[in-house]
Amino acid sequence: MARLLSVCLLAVAFGCLFAPAFIPAAPRSDRLSAAAGAAVLATVPAGAEAFVYKGKEYFDVFYGIDPLAWAFCGFSIVYFGAVLKNAAQKYNISPDKTPPKVGGFVGKEVENGEPSYMDPSIKQGPY
């Protein structure tokens, strides 16, 4: 099973490496050099350049949005959530108030008018 899996993964890797859909119509040596160049570029760390001030890079925790807008958004979410919760509690329709059953336990045969399973005149089972 493991051998089959490794063979399938190897076939997929070769198919991705030599497929013309990924690298269009180039000689095989160019394909290999292009794949190696792409691998090198993918591993080179690059700066995020989220916010650069006087040559030093800073990370913007507010994603470029004013803190006042974030505060207003948070307040709106909490406020409208409370409004929806209060409306749901105010206009909640409770289920029908039926009186509970009083009395002791009655068996199924009494409740449904069926003969008792302990009646010796009724044959039960395949024997």
* 68 & 37 share domain: no
Predicted confidence pLDDT, tens digits, the chain (127 residues) = 556 666 655 666 665 566 555 444 555 566 666 666 666 555 555 555 566 778 877 777 777 789 999 999 999 999 999 999 999 999 988 777 777 778 888 888 888 888 877 777 766 666 5
| Same structural domain, 18 and 53 | no
Both 36 and 56 in one domain: the answer is no
In a domain, 66, yes or no: yes
Whether 56 maps to a domain, the answer reads: yes
Contacts for 121 with CB less than 8 Å, ≥ 6 apart: none
Helix (H) or strand (E) holding 108: helix 108-112
Domain count, the chain: 2
Residue at 19 is within a domain = yes
Q: What's the pTM value of the predicted model, to 2 decimals?
A: 0.34
Q: Looking at the domain assignment, is residue 14 inside a domain?
A: yes
Q: Are residues 59 and 84 in the same domain?
A: yes
The range of the structural domain enclosing residue 63 comes to 49-92
Quick check: is 63 in a domain?
yes
